[in-house]
Structure 1
Amino acid sequence: MNSQDKSSQTSSASDAYRFDSEGALLETQLPLPRRQGKVRDVYDLGDDLLIVSTDRISAFDYILPSGIPGKGALLTAMSRFWFDRMDDGTIGGGKIGHHLISTDVPEAVAKLVDPEPLRGRVMVARKAEVVPFECVVRGYLEGSGWRAYQDSGEICGVKLPAGLRQCDQLASPIFTPSTKAEAGHDENVSFEVMAEGAGIETSSSLRELSLMIYQDAARIAAERGILIADTKFEFGWFGEDDAAKKLIIIDEVLTPDSSRFWSADEYEPGRSQRSFDKQFVREWLLASDWDRNSEPPKLPAEIIEKTAARYREGFDRLVG
């Protein structure tokens, strides 16, 4: 490598990461093909994907200018915890396949950029053909499910008993799929609508797998004093031969960004519950003068610290 090549490589490495003033990793720019979600930067490694969980945080469909330091590493570690439970059969009895290969920074990537900011926040994952529906499981009545129940007495075509209160536990978990929106909100749909789009056999398999994962994960969490109110899963088809393709779970799984976690000792139906997530951020934004139609404001240091602590508390109770 000549001196010009070395200079070019050093320059690209120094431009690979963008942090905010609090030290949160807001963006990665590795010299690889990239697409960005609200939280994750996804790179094409050829046969596999490199999924980087940044410290970005979103609210009301906006990515905020402030991040939550360490959040991405916690999400990655929590997903790894649940994927390990699938591998050892604690979740799904050995029937659940997933996309995670490794949480180590690949050597090829470490040669391109300084690997230190990536450590603890990456997943090397199998490529899969994504099923275009979110697989939502609800064990308690909250969020969009609570609003739908108040309007019609049902959620996504699932009729529920009259007289339920906000955050009541359901008699048994229900499967309530939604579309996957590229921007804005996903749309809740009935199982029948999902079956029309994905096929009845695929949809039935996804419902069975989703309920299985939720019930096993909810039992594990309950042993640690945590209630999983609801969660959403993403699945994809994996395999080169169409005849041998199988459904595997992809993306993050059972994290505070994809699930609603409550403390069992604080649980009281009939009102909203404190969650182990970005609740402090949402409440501060609602109380601010932000109109939710323009670029959002930076978060105060106190809100960032409280939010980081809440994510950490949920992680420690579940995984620690």
Structure 2
Amino acid sequence: MGSESAVVSTALNYPRRQGKVRDVYDLGTSLLIVSTDRISAFDWILPGGIPRKGVVLTQISRFWFERLQVEHHLLSTDLPADLDVTGEQRAELADRVMVTKKAQVVPYECVVRGFLEGSGWLEYQQTGKVCGVPLPAGLRQCDRLPEPIFTPATKAEAGHDENVSFETMAADIGLELATELREKSLDVYRQGAQWAESKGIIIADTKFEWGWSDDRLILIDEVLTPDSSRFWPADSYTPGRSQLSFDKQFVREWLMESDWDRNSPPPALPPEVIAQTSQKYESVYSLLTSRQLPQPG
């Protein structure tokens, strides 16, 4: 992965909106979601990118959408034959696109936590709860929770998503919808976590996005990727400390150890961090799927 150049932007002849990682094009009756090689941390998009990271994200999502028992938005991972692109663009986009249904997005991140880490661990130390969910006393950092918990967050246009309680979410969107989102999110997490653990990977937590399509609630965006989840190698898991990870926590830790103040544009990642991050993303794909990542050309 590391020897190729990163795809950090795309410019197709269709209406586009850009997220931190994805370029989303409106094809009329469907969307074309392009996973670029951009990488974000601490609400900043880092300069450069991680070569083929977008291919990993797309192919992991494809694997899960095909495997999970849930209605979802994915129609195809092939570029439409009639897409208005050049041959060079078609080659650049190969293996990193999803053609999806359009959906009206539910304005909440549906976070599920099976282990105690990140903002959940910080909140637990202060209150004994995570997003209003009481937890047993005496839990350690990265302990497995007695049961996975649903901890929604508001979707921020800029800056941090804000963790909220289930009750706050229900007051906003209605108890029936909030309950359905909680049940569906917990079910998908359990399906994914069980499969991953059989492959030697712990999915500590993850976030899902849902949307309405033809009056049905469907899973949208990416699913159970290293960008939306914490992936830990099971063979080195030891509660009471931070874990080794297959996700972009490696990049976050390098940034935290640098002298970057998080208020000014972030520094470029050194080549060795880019190469190691590439390797982490590719290895989690191979472990989860028992497949090799599609190669260019």
Q: Is the shorter-chain TM-score for this pair beyond 0.5, marking a shared fold? A: yes
Shift of 1:107: 1.7
Determine the C-alpha separation between the residues in 2 that align with 1:185 and 1:154: 20
Report the identity percentage: 64
Aligned with residue 112 of structure 2, among 137, 158, 177: 137
Q: Name segments (4+ residues, structure 1) moved above 6 Å.
A: none
Corresponding residue of 2:231: 261
Partners of 1:38 and 1:63 within 8 A in 2: yes
TM-score by length of 2: 0.94
Partners of 2:151 and 2:163 within 8 A in 1: yes
Determine the C-alpha separation between the residues in 2 that align with 1:258 and 1:49: 20
What is the CA deviation profile of residues 58-104 of structure 1, one whole-angstrom value per residue up to 9, with x for unaligned ones? 11111011200010000000000000012xxxxx3xxx210000000
Partners of 2:12 and 2:85 within 8 A in 1: no
Q: Which runs of 5+ in 1 are unaligned?
A: 1-19, 87-91, 240-244
Task: Give the number of equivalent residue pairs.
Answer: 288
Determine the C-alpha separation between the residues in 2 that align with 1:111 and 1:68: 24
The answer to whether residue 48 in structure 2 is matched with residue 59 in structure 1 is no
Determine the C-alpha separation between the residues in 2 that align with 1:48 and 1:194: 29
What is the letter of the counterpart of residue 229 of structure 1?
A
Aligned with residue 166 of structure 1, among 131, 141, 154: 141
SS at 2:110 equivalent = strand
Shift of 1:299: 1.1
What is the letter of the counterpart of residue 165 of structure 1?
R
SS at 1:254 equivalent = coil
What are the within-5 Å matches in structure 2 for residues 14-163 of structure 1? 23-86=5-68, 92=69, 96-111=70-85, 114-163=89-138
Corresponding residue of 1:295: 265
SS at 1:174 equivalent = strand
Determine the C-alpha separation between the residues in 1 that align with 2:240 and 2:136: 15
Aligned with residue 205 of structure 2, among 214, 222, 230: 230
RMSD: 1.4
Aligned with residue 185 of structure 1, among 146, 156, 160: 160
Determine the C-alpha separation between the residues in 2 that align with 1:291 and 1:44: 37
SS at 2:162 equivalent = coil
SS at 2:9 equivalent = strand
Determine the C-alpha separation between the residues in 2 that align with 1:128 and 1:54: 21
TM-score by length of 1: 0.88
Aligned with residue 284 of structure 1, among 254, 261, 264: 254
Shift of 1:22: 5.5
SS at 1:66 equivalent = coil
Structure with max Cα Rg = 1
Determine the C-alpha separation between the residues in 2 that align with 1:28 and 1:21: 20
Determine the C-alpha separation between the residues in 1 that align with 2:3 and 2:245: 26
Shift of 1:106: 1.1
Determine the C-alpha separation between the residues in 2 that align with 1:226 and 1:302: 24
